[in-house]
Structure 1
């Protein structure tokens, strides 16, 4: 549900947060764990900036459970729009929300500058083991800091149009080698059909590299490594380059009207993306009811069940928030308490291990996906996410540089490998300008 790591940030405002050398390390809360319980008894009002629709009902339930508490959920924009508003409020030192909805890839934009409260002293440290590895790693900082609590996750899966594959007599691919071959067979059988749509997307590329075992980024404080020459990255580019060279991808922008139309009329046969895509298909491609199915992502090696994350988001408390105790109480309720059930009932995909392993959750049958128990596929993927992935502290800005670098591989003779080399160079230069020490492996 709107969890895409490919949206370019509103660079001008976000850059204000990124002076690495000037960032602060003191992100301790102004309150204690005891203050959290007291705040629930005394009541009060908090403001939550979020675009995730299931939080509206969570807020109502929280208010009902705690009379005297008021939760105002405000949608000040999606993704980069909210991040810009949040950065402006942080710079002004006023108008801050008590709780902010932030995607995993964008957390570094705020943590590097010391803009998010460390939730560990308020009780978050006790939740280790409650979440799947990908989301939990995304919210952790150095020296045990926990910058947010995971709200959802996006373990990848293969979404495919069963009717298209049946009509064109093509087998569902289980490996990436089979995926490329299936792409050829689909287009050969019907020149109007492509196995996927992609005209250059940062989130799609980084997720693909993650899944292939690449680890191009590493971050230790102000020391950053960017190196797109590792084996996993090459594995991804070698495979995806074939699809580009042989014109096997539909060159349309994701989330556009043309993209939804192609998913609806069968011009695009698959998507390899996060679990949240199921709800987007239901709402955006209603005519596809009964046609689509879900399978594990294609394996890079026979029998390998490794997966990756695509998107996902968390709830954080900005430094300077007026009611930090009540803010944490709400976050814990929404992301570790009864609020999870409320969100699941509305179709959200959780990041909590207990829910992902519950028989009730796994047994849910999806009418859209032909009665398939899709949560079983998603949960297996979540449990097999490759560890070790990291985002840049300025990933949102790096993503804004993607189209002029890697994106050229889709519109010119530039290869993906060459485009990644260019992306590496400009991303490193930007990081150095912001005060980071950047190693590119040269």
Structure 2
């Protein structure tokens, strides 16, 4: 789940090189999982997993996503001989640091870990996660929407099962838009025009906020068809001069240069206040956002609506993902069958409905197509069937996106490079070039072949 975590992606962290290239004690496949000579886990059938669940045992799950508490309770009720120790080892970067420390020490490693999609390549390449193809995970391809399913793949391996997803949409304050007679923009050019009209009518109001966000920037480039990252094992290229990146910088530079975006950091008190009082009139973000509105922006109840993500070309339907997490089995787990059984329960079977009912946005196609889900009419959004729009967005995610195998580090230096465009005369395109150079330098230091 990505609730309230975009701000955390910008926090400065430098994961150890061993995370990127897997140098230390993280290759054990566990005592209940055999490996062939290639290092891949041997086939484990559903019957094997079921037998392990019936026999019982104990697993430790590291995750911060709140609805998993209900999932654990239901799982232990169904499998009373299995004990699940659910541990919040920190959110996002804090958990990743703790996990890497445990891997380096060779002790205290959980059996299951929540891993955000952008971080999956880094842990997979570091051989910290178990390839789940031996458990038959490849047969689940039609179970999940394309964006999340692609995100848990690294090379030919599958290194987690999608827990949720973040297909993007435009969340907008209908009351503010109606007051100033602003049409809901369907293209990014119209979005810029709406920003100009709104700020001219009320200098205290902005179409959105932005002080520089790595996740938002890469998602926008993703939607524009950009593919700045190309990864083939340890051969990596970074190129922000591609057409998709330039579409984003050309358009977004207008908003930055004309000071049409609020200089407010996301997830701050000022941000929540702005969303509530109408001075921040829209957000383009992931489908996990509604729960944040309901709990954090109570003053906006009944005022907000959801629309499709504005397009780079009129008439288009392209979207991108912004956030979301998987559950992964660690390579060092000695209870991999139990761990995989928990993954399936949480992300494929009974746990999905429990989490969706508690406000999570699903990654499973069956739920995304469910009439009960699609026809929900949350009062916060004026009774609008917002899930129809969000589910459609999930179908329209542009395929082929890749993250760096050290994306957590790259995100941590975004504000020191690209982010300078928001506080100086540096342009966004120049900022991305600086981000590119810094990312390439780091990759080279960690032993990647960088282009």
TM exceeds 0.5? yes
Measured against aligned partners, the alpha-carbon deviations of 1:195-217 in whole angstroms (never above 9, x if no partner) come to 01001111111111111111100
CA–CA distance in structure 2, aligned partners of residues 366 and 28 of structure 1: 46
Contact 2:195/2:206 (8 A) holds in 1: yes
Over 3 Å counting, the alpha-carbon distance change for 1:73 and 1:298 in structure 2 is same
The aligned residue for residue 7 of structure 1 is 9
Give me the TM-score of the superposition, normalised by structure 1: 0.96
CA–CA distance in structure 1, aligned partners of residues 68 and 136 of structure 2: 21
Q: Say yes or no: does 1:99 pair with 2:101.
A: no
CA–CA distance in structure 2, aligned partners of residues 386 and 142 of structure 1: 19
SS at match of 2:171: strand
Q: Say yes or no: does 1:142 pair with 2:155.
A: yes
CA–CA distance in structure 2, aligned partners of residues 342 and 419 of structure 1: 43
SS at match of 2:73: helix
The aligned residue for residue 127 of structure 2 is 114
Q: Say yes or no: does 1:412 pair with 2:414.
A: no
The aligned residue for residue 406 of structure 2 is 394
Q: Say yes or no: does 1:133 pair with 2:146.
A: yes
* Aligned residue runs from structure 1 range 170-181, under 5 A: 170-181=182-193
Contact 2:15/2:409 (8 A) holds in 1: no
Q: Say yes or no: does 1:227 pair with 2:239.
A: yes
The aligned residue for residue 162 of structure 1 is 174
Contact 1:4/1:310 (8 A) holds in 2: no
The aligned residue for residue 288 of structure 2 is 276
SS at match of 1:192: coil
CA–CA distance in structure 1, aligned partners of residues 38 and 7 of structure 2: 28
CA–CA distance in structure 2, aligned partners of residues 12 and 229 of structure 1: 26
Q: CA deviation at 1:60?
A: 0.6
Measured against aligned partners, the alpha-carbon deviations of 1:140-172 in whole angstroms (never above 9, x if no partner) come to 1223x1100000000000000000111112111
CA–CA distance in structure 1, aligned partners of residues 251 and 39 of structure 2: 43
CA–CA distance in structure 2, aligned partners of residues 113 and 40 of structure 1: 29
Choose the corresponding residue for 1:67, options 80, 84, 88: 80
* Aligned residue runs from structure 1 range 11-410, under 5 A: 11-19=13-21, 28-29=40-41, 32-33=44-45, 34-143=47-156, 145-410=157-422
Q: What runs of 5+ residues in structure 1 fail to find an aligned partner?
A: none
CA–CA distance in structure 1, aligned partners of residues 122 and 288 of structure 2: 24
CA–CA distance in structure 1, aligned partners of residues 52 and 40 of structure 2: 18
CA–CA distance in structure 1, aligned partners of residues 262 and 17 of structure 2: 34
Measured against aligned partners, the alpha-carbon deviations of 1:336-375 in whole angstroms (never above 9, x if no partner) come to 1111011111111010111101111101111100001111
CA–CA distance in structure 1, aligned partners of residues 389 and 17 of structure 2: 39
Over 3 Å counting, the alpha-carbon distance change for 1:343 and 1:203 in structure 2 is same
Q: CA deviation at 1:20?
A: 6.8
- Which stretch of structure 1 is more off in the superposition, 116-125 or 375-384? 116-125
CA–CA distance in structure 2, aligned partners of residues 342 and 134 of structure 1: 22
SS at match of 1:129: helix
CA–CA distance in structure 1, aligned partners of residues 231 and 374 of structure 2: 36
CA–CA distance in structure 2, aligned partners of residues 15 and 278 of structure 1: 37
CA–CA distance in structure 2, aligned partners of residues 226 and 20 of structure 1: 21
Q: CA deviation at 1:36?
A: 1.1
Q: What runs of 5+ residues in structure 2 fail to find an aligned partner?
A: 28-36
CA–CA distance in structure 2, aligned partners of residues 31 and 424 of structure 1: 41
Q: CA deviation at 1:16?
A: 3.3
